């Protein structure tokens, strides 16, 4: 069972972030010591049109790009609408807040503290990773997606 005492914060900009902007923000956040897990959240960018008369045809979208975060290539499957972070202790939250205050100068954002990621294994986690799953993957499984989460190991 994972320790549920780690603080979590959610960075919610008032606009969806373009891939270039998201890449800059994520790289700046990756440089902060004390971040355990990071998840981006937003509306999906499917490769094929999921419904309607054009169902099954390619879905050209300018935001479906690959970005580079801390030596890892990440293919964006969502428009970045929020970034959810789990940190080691509350001291990292103030560093995240000051970084976001400096980063979001053209439009506002909110920094919310609370519980945004699952901390105990769910049925989906069990089905995807098994009974001896890595605790850092708990709550990051998407049951509708065959691909797993992108893991970036930070050397500190």
DSSP reduced 3-state for 123: helix
Predicted confidence band at 23 (pLDDT cuts at 50, 70, 90)? very high
pTM for the full model?
0.83
Quote the pLDDT of residue 2: 46
Token pair belonging to 45: 């960018």
- For residue 10 the two structure tokens come to 């959610």
Provide the 10 A C-beta neighbour count for residue 23.
Answer: 19
For 80-106, give the DSSP string.
Answer: B-EEEEEESSTHHHHHHHHHHHHH--S
Q: Which helix (H) or strand (E) holds 27?
A: helix 19-30
- Decide if domain 8-116 falls under CATH 3.30.70: yes
Residue-range domain boundaries for the chain: 8-116
């Amino acid at each position: 069972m994972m320790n549920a005492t780690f603080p979590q914060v959610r960075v919610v900009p008032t606009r969806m972030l373009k891939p270039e902007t998201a890449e800059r923000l994520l790289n700046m956040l990756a440089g902060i010591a004390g971040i355990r897990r990071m998840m981006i959240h937003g509306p999906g960018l499917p490769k094929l049109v999921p419904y309607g008369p054009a169902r099954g045809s390619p879905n050209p979208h300018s935001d479906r790009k690959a970005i580079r975060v801390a030596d890892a290539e990440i293919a964006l499957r969502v428009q970045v609408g929020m970034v959810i972070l789990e940190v080691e202790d509350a001291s990292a939250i103030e560093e995240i807040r000051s970084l976001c205050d400096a980063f979001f100068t053209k439009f506002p954002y909110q920094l919310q503290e609370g519980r945004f990621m699952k901390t105990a294994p769910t049925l989906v986690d069990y089905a995807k990773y098994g009974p001896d799953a890595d605790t850092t993957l708990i709550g990051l499984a998407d049951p509708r997606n065959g691909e797993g989460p992108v893991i970036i190991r930070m050397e500190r």
